Amino acid sequence: MSASGGSSSTDAASTAVSTAGRVAELSFFFPAHNEEANLEAMVEEALGALPALAQRFEIIAVDDGSRDRTPAIADELAKRHPDLFRVVHHPTNLGYGAALRSGFRAARFGLVAFTDGDRQFKVADVGRLTERLAAPDSPDVVLGYRLKRADPLIRRWYARVYRLSNRIFFGVRVRDIDCACKLFRREALTPIRVSSGGAFFTAELLIKLRFEGRSLAEVGVPHYPRTAGSPTGAKPRVVFRAVRDFWSLRLRLWLSRGAAMRRGEPILG
């Protein structure tokens, strides 16, 4: 009923909601960097939740150069669930955006969703996104926004500044641009190229989707405190890289929108 396999069709049937309220096919992935304490529970949660959301699904973990037991645990889970779960390994830590890019490239189905691997989102809440996708306006992308952000004050402050900056300089008017709970129609991603390999990746993706005329919708999702592992989003080097990528894109768009849109690596390989 829920096993994945074979290559995905990208026609309308692959993204239609069935009469049972489930989408036909769904690729779900998550990045994981040093998440040995969360990985197995994350995969088991996905295996339990996704049959209610999709007739066929696949789960993909992107191990971004972890130095703990994350790679070994992921490989063991892939052996245990060969038809449902796969892992992509980065030999070294390439950054959050690079991990997302690998997840998109590994996805095979017509709908692609992701959350983070730290279990601050429930996989079942991806159902809120698929329900919104099935609305009459049929958006290309559904973005989660955190109903109550369960993060330290410094990260919430960064997020407010970041959201305002993207609104002012790029015109992206979404409530929670860096919320790691998003759903995409595969065809919307086909022409998109993204340069950033860091935390600015998702913002650049949404900026370019907006400039391509794609429709974005939003839906609230619960957010939970991290109970294991260590966050990296507020580290100075991560913030510096995001600021650098932000201004690089803004300057290039001012100089030549066409050249800026063509710059970067394809999302889908």
- Give bridge partners of residue 145 from the DSSP assignment: 220
Q: What 3-state DSSP class applies to 79?
A: helix
Let me know if residue 57 belongs to a domain.
yes
Distance between start and end Cα atoms, the chain: 29
Let me know if residue 1 belongs to a domain.
no
Q: What gap in Å lies between CA 193 and CA 268, rounded to an integer?
A: 9
Range of the domain at 44: 12-266
Computed over every residue of the chain, the mean pLDDT equals: 91
Q: Give the pLDDT score at 26.
A: 98
Q: What gap in Å lies between CA 228 and CA 29, rounded to an integer?
A: 19
Let me know if residue 186 belongs to a domain.
yes
Asked whether residue 229 carries a pLDDT value surpassing 90, the answer given is no
Q: Give the pLDDT score at 247.
A: 97
pLDDT band at 153 (very low <50, low <70, confident <90, very high): confident
Q: What 3-state DSSP class applies to 138?
A: coil
Let me know if residue 7 belongs to a domain.
no
Assigned token pair, 104: 């998109």
CB 90 within 8 A of CB 117: no
Asked whether residue 13 carries a pLDDT value surpassing 50, the answer given is no
How many domains are contained in the chain? 1
Q: What gap in Å lies between CA 142 and CA 14, rounded to an integer?
A: 17
Q: Give the pLDDT score at 158.
A: 82
- Average pLDDT on 205-218 reads 97
The CATH number given to whatever domain includes residue 78 is 3.90.550.10
Who's near 49: CB < 8 A, 6+ residues apart? 122, 123, 124, 126, 127
Q: Give the pLDDT score at 231.
A: 63
What residue type is assigned to position 180 of the chain? Answer: A
Asked whether residue 166 carries a pLDDT value surpassing 70, the answer given is yes
Q: Give the pLDDT score at 150.
A: 78
Asked whether residue 32 carries a pLDDT value surpassing 60, the answer given is yes
**Predicted model pTM:** 0.90
Q: What is the pLDDT of residues 48-106, one digit of tens each?
A: 999 999 999 999 999 999 999 999 999 999 999 999 999 999 999 999 999 999 999 99
Q: Give the pLDDT score at 237.
A: 87
Let me know if residue 216 belongs to a domain.
yes
Let me know if residue 3 belongs to a domain.
no
Q: Give the pLDDT score at 239.
A: 87
Let me know if residue 230 belongs to a domain.
yes
pLDDT band at 269 (very low <50, low <70, confident <90, very high): confident
Q: What gap in Å lies between CA 130 and CA 63, rounded to an integer?
A: 26
Let me know if residue 111 belongs to a domain.
yes
